[in-house]
Amino acid sequence: MSNKKKLYEILLEEFGKRGLEDIEIPLYIKENLSKELRIYQEKALKYYYANVDSIKQNHLMFNMATGSGKTLIMAALILDCYKRGYRDFIFFVNTNSILEKTKANFADKYSSKYLFKSPIIINEKQVEINLIENLSESKKGAINVYFNTIQGLYSLFTNERENAFTLEDLKGRKFVFLADEAHHLNADTKKKLSTSEQEDKEGWEGMMNKAFKAHKENIMLEFSATLPKDSAVQSKYQDKIIFEYALKEFYTDRFSKKIFLLKYAGLEKEERFLGSMIASLYRQYLAKENGVFLKPVVLYKSKTIKESKDNELEFKEFVKNLSAKKVQDFFKAYTQNEKEKTLFDEALEFFKGLNIDETKLCEIIKLNFSEHFILNVNDSKEANEYQLKLNSLEDKDNEIRVIFAVDKLNEGWDVLNLFDIVRLNTGNINESTKEAQLIGRGARYFPFTIQGYEESFKRKFDDESTSLKALERLSYHAASENEYILRLSKELDTIGLPAENEKEKIVLKIKEAIKNKSFYKEAIFATNSRRKQGKTLFNDKINEGLKERLARLEIPLFEAKGIKEWEFLSELEKEQDYDEHTHKDFELKNINEKVFLKAMNILGEFYHFENLAKIFKIDSRREFVRNFLQNTLAKIHKKQNLNSPQAQLKIALFVCEAFKDTSLKFEDSYTLGSWEAKKLESYLKDREIYREAKDKISQENGAKYEWFVYEKFVGSSLESEFLDFIEQNKALINKHFKEWLVVRNERMAEFAVYDDREYLANGEVNEHYADRFEPDFYFLGKRKNDEFIITQCLIEPKGEHLELNDKWKEEFLLSLTHKARLERSNLHVEISGLEFFKQKNKESFRESFETFVFRDKS
């Protein structure tokens, strides 16, 4: 194996991108996890399965960003290893605080962060999570997990005690070792050791290697967000890194909050106290107004434990003596900036809208930030008590919203509702590295859904002008120390979390001349919509799709006796192994109804009547069996013996499992609504957008384009070139259109469209079906020869670096030309789309555009 390539790079070469994408995550994984796997988590598991099927490397490293859900991957891998015959797991971490939190995540089924569904069902049997202290407590059919710290394991293996694990015990059976925050394991590997590390040389890292190698089938699964840059450590893991997902990718993919640095004008702590409380209440009330439960947490960070305790007392005194005048003075100092709209501008405007003045806000602050809601986590004597509170901060019955700390939360703290970190000390610029790491922990996204935005775990509003952005940002409050802020910004940029500054507000107003045009007032445009299918009644189309999938189902040969383990074939395996001469059509009604009902009972929750009735129009489970299972064909092996009850049950289980799998995929899919004509004047409004100075954008006076709806144009140089293209072809357009205008889509949800092609031109299923697309420009016009048709053309300038990835968008645009006209009142909408406007294809685009202008569908 080449030392120059990482394991996942080798697997990518061997399987190819398409081959890896086609790997299916088994149902026993998805159905036994309490949370839905995200795209990158599925990708990590697909690399894992690729390794299992080929290289079979038994020591793996998952190098994944803080907050990216490594523990859910661990839970999935535990389920898979159990399925493959492993029963004993040793889980080790760096500190006791992380250990207790991890135990709850894996073993406390009443915890809101419990990773498994209850009960766990594998091989048609319930599986227990059994925490053990020694091997004698291990149960044959359970997932037996021993938890300890790295130091605790080292002590255990070097100082043998009665009724405890020993290295000798490990030799007789196979184990799976799971190491979280695994960068702590590499003291021996580093070439340059600190004094304490030198003392540990030949210590716990070597001991863990001995434990791992005690049985040839042992598996070591390591997880780390920050692998040391040391060359020896990098070399050690070169052929073990199965997946990498850096914080920068995590941030770019919108799975984290955005980071904003709030620099206060002075050094007074009171301003940071008050600013952070106002920001916290603003988020709480904003979320409530939008139907989201949120209790934002504020972390007050000090340099020493004594300072932390003093700051806590000072904070309580400040809240107790807070006056409306202080609140009023704060807003005067930190709002009313015409050029930049800060979080405090938004808060002041929002509270005014709720008729909350400074006096009322002062009362609310005193009520919400009283001593009852404060937790100081620096006292080791109370560690167990505060650890429970820290691990459940998102729970509705956890009232803590203020935390005072020094360094205890820099590692191993999983919190989603931390929105404000306040640095209370000043000076000591060397703290910036640790502070950046803490901010990385706080950047975990708080999941919520708003109508029209289905993905709860991703940022939704990066490109929109909405106050809801406040629910997607972490604010770091600091005194006016330019050198420290600059250094912290660089540290954040290094780890992949670029800090945002308050952005310049740009107001886009619709031109009065456009508003006064009769065409603007009567114009209509067309878009479609989508919704997640979810647990709503499947329509006839989906039901027919389910039956078609069953009709293509190829049932393997099942023996009546024996203990041979079987698993469902993947679609690829079916294609390779299927021989048309070995199978025949089979009517599933030949399987007795009672056998199907028994199979449904074994498979559990999906086949409970309450669940089935949500997605199928049925009055009983028997009706479901008759209408959806027995009322179709499948392919069965010609040698299959149907006389045996055991064989019939295995066939029924196979069919039911396949039906469930397909149904769950449909549940997770989107259903598209029909295209709908809308009145332009009702949806196109003045807009506020925010841009940073570093953004490479062009701002131009829109007056030079009388057909452009806004007074200003803000966009890329390529988009600006497109407007120039339209201006240059204005005479041609005027020759064929009596009235027309161009709308710049400023990330307006109302102007988004969804790919409605279920199948591509070559007959393949469209993998981008129902994907969202926000075209940059809408051309709307009325041709000279028809008073009753509005012509709509969607146009997208596209940079070359995005062209390949967005090719589906261009194909979708071109498909729109064949849409039927839509009607609203006395008008029709004729929908068209053009190829991308690109730097290199302007002549080709010109030809397409001229064809569109000349075209007359009437």
Of the pLDDT bands very low, low, confident and very high (cuts 50, 70, 90), residue 410 is low
Given a cut of 50, is residue 454 above it in pLDDT?
Answer: yes
Greatest mean pLDDT range, 418-422, 427-431, 695-699, 785-789: 418-422
586 vs 330: CA distance, rounded Å: 77
Q: Is the pLDDT of residue 566 over 50?
A: no
Q: Which spans in 706-841 are helix H?
A: 717-728, 730-736, 800-803, 807-815
pLDDT digits (tens, 9 = 90+) for 461-517: 887 778 899 999 999 998 877 777 777 888 888 777 777 765 666 888 999 999 999
Confidence of residue 192 (pLDDT cuts 50, 70, 90): low
Residues 110-132: what's their mean pLDDT? 89
Tell me the mean pLDDT in the region 546-564. 68
- Residue 302, pLDDT above cutoff 60: yes
Is 131:145 a contact under the CB 8 Å cutoff? yes
Bond into 447 cis (ω within 30): no
Output 279 or 406, whichever has higher pLDDT: 279
CA distance 556 to 636: 7
- CA-closest candidate to residue 105, choices 121, 91, 84: 91
Instruction: Tell whether the torsion through CA atoms of 380, 430, 440 and 418 is positive or negative.
Output: positive
Instruction: Return the pLDDT at 565.
Output: 38
Residue 255: pLDDT over 50? yes
pLDDT greater at residue 161 or residue 621: 621
Q: Can you tell me whether residue 712 is helix, strand or coil?
A: strand
- At residue 562, does pLDDT exceed 50? no
The whole-number pLDDT of residue 338 equals 54
Highest mean pLDDT among 216-225, 532-541, 630-639, 743-752: 216-225
Report the alpha-carbon distance of residue 575 to residue 562 in Å, rounded: 27
Is the domain spanning 7-245 CATH 3.40.50.300? The answer is yes
Is the pLDDT at 201 greater than 70? The verdict is no
Q: 291-295, 654-658, 794-798 — which is least confidently predicted?
A: 654-658
Q: Do 63 and 149 meet the contact criterion of CB atoms below 8 Å apart?
A: no
How does residue 541 score in pLDDT terms, banded at 50, 70 and 90?
low
Angle between helices 324-334 and 358-368 (to 10 degrees): 110
pLDDT at 434: 77
- Name the one residue in this structure whose structure tokens are 């931390």: 418
Q: Are 479 and 261 in contact (CB under 8 A)?
A: no
693-709 pLDDT, tens digit per residue, is 555 556 777 788 999 99
Band the pLDDT of 576: cuts 50, 70, 90: very low
Residue 680 is predicted with a pLDDT of 94
φ/ψ of 691, rounded to 5, equals -135, 150
How far from 304 is each of 257, 378, 425, 503, CA to CA, in Å?
28, 9, 9, 34
**Is 223 in a helix, a strand, or coil?**
strand
Q: Report pLDDT digits (tens) over 11-53.
A: 999 998 888 988 989 989 998 999 989 999 999 999 999 999 9
What pLDDT sits at residue 1?
A: 43
Superfamily (CATH) of domain 255-502? P-loop containing nucleotide triphosphate hydrolases (3.40.50.300)
Q: What's the whole-number mean pLDDT along residues 772-798? A: 93
Mean pLDDT of the chain: 84
- What residues does each domain of the chain span? 7-245, 255-502, 511-530+673-854, 540-668
Alpha helices in 22-88 (DSSP H): 27-30, 39-53, 70-83
State residue 620's pLDDT score.
Answer: 92
SS3 288: helix
**631 confidence band (pLDDT: 50, 70, 90):** confident
The pLDDT of residue 771: 86
The pLDDT value recorded for residue 703 is 81
pTM of the model: 0.66
Which pLDDT value is given to residue 503? Answer: 60
Same fold, 7-245 and 255-502: yes
Interaxial angle between packed helices 842-854 and 717-728, expressed in degrees from 0 to 180 and rounded to the nearest 10: 50
User: Confidence class of residue 798 from pLDDT cuts 50, 70 and 90?
Assistant: very high
For residue 248, CA distances in Å to 416, 446, 498, 499 come to 18, 18, 9, 12
pLDDT score for 530: 83
pLDDT tens-place string over residues 317-365? 999 999 999 999 999 888 866 556 688 989 999 999 999 999 999 999 9
Question: Is residue 48 within 8 Å of 242, Cβ to Cβ?
Answer: yes
**573: pLDDT strictly greater than 50:** no
Whether 580 shows a pLDDT value over 60: the answer reads no
- pLDDT of 483 reads 75
pLDDT for the residue numbered 495? 77
Least confident of 184-188, 424-428, 768-772: 184-188
Over residues 730-743, mean pLDDT: 96
